[in-house]
Structures are given as C-alpha cells and as structure tokens.
Amino acid sequence: MNSTASPYRIITVCTGNICRSPMAEFMLADALRAAGLAEHVLVDSAGTTSYEVGRPIDPRAARVLDAHGLGSHTHIARQFEPAWYSERELILALDVDHYGHLREQAPLGAAEKVRMLREFDPAVAHLYHLDQGIEDPWFGDQGDFETTWRLIAASVPGIIAHVRRELATLGLAVDA
C-alpha cells in the first residue's frame, strides 16, 4: 500500500472480464462489506484480453449473482492495465493461463502480488497452481456458472482472512 490512508486494493482477473472475474469481484466486495472491511479494501476486476472490452457481464453470470442478491448491472468489461501492478496489493488470477500471463508481464518485484484465487480455498490450497484453476463457464451452460459460484465462494473466507492479516501488518485494527 502507498500509505495507511490508502485502501488495500484487490483485482480479480480472467480472460474477457465478463464471467469469472466480475463474479469474483462482486462476491468479494459483498463479503468484505459483511466482514466490516469495505472502508479499508476496494475490489475490481479486469480481463487479460481486449476481447470483451465495453461489454456487460454475461447474462448467465448475472443470473447467478442476482440469485444470490448481488446485482451486477453496472459492470462493464475492461482489460488489465500494466499500471495496476503498482496500484493493487493482490492480483487474483481465476485460471492458470491468467496466472502465467500476469506473472510473465509483471514488472520487477510485482509478480509476488499475483496469486491464484483458489490458493485461498483450503480444499485445494495444497495443490499445484495447475490444479487450482476455474474453467471458463462461457463455453458451458447455466450449471457451469453455478459451479463457478461455488468454486469462488469456497475461496472467499480465505481471502478475507488474508486481507485481515495484511491490514494488521499495516497497523489497521480490524475486528474478526
């Protein structure tokens, strides 16, 4: 973080920023609000490509979020910008190709900010990164989007715990 007054920033990243990464963004933002951390942490999302820039969230992803009370109608897809390596404390890749791309493109000293989102899921945290990805539901049906929800949701508590530890190292007292 740049200073203790700056928020801790997380970005979730997938391919086009219309399915997995916006789902993770909205789910994390909601969990951070529920944990009382919203004033200290900001979450956004992006894609590694420009394929979907300017488009709204995939309607199937929106249906899953809506079913869980998370409106996503404001989302507009965008591409990850290199400047964000220095502006984000945690860069969460949704699949192994995003992880590899982000780490490869990272400037010196920033690659360690790039983590697999599912590293924070205790059921798979011990696995190699190649086994921690979330497949693109875009090619599937509504059930694949429900699976994506479940996989992201399993990682959210671990991410919240990680953020609490990070904030504590910065001297910010946040209740558990």
pLDDT, tens digit, 9 for 90 and up, residues 93-151: 999 999 999 999 999 999 999 999 999 999 999 999 999 999 999 999 999 999 999 99
Burial class, 96, CB count within 10 angstroms (exposed 0-12 / middle 13-18 / buried 19+): middle
- Cα separation, 167 vs 173, in Å, equals 7
Active site residues: 14, 20, 136
CA neighbor of 85 nearest in space, from 66, 102, 62: 102
Predicted model pTM:
0.95
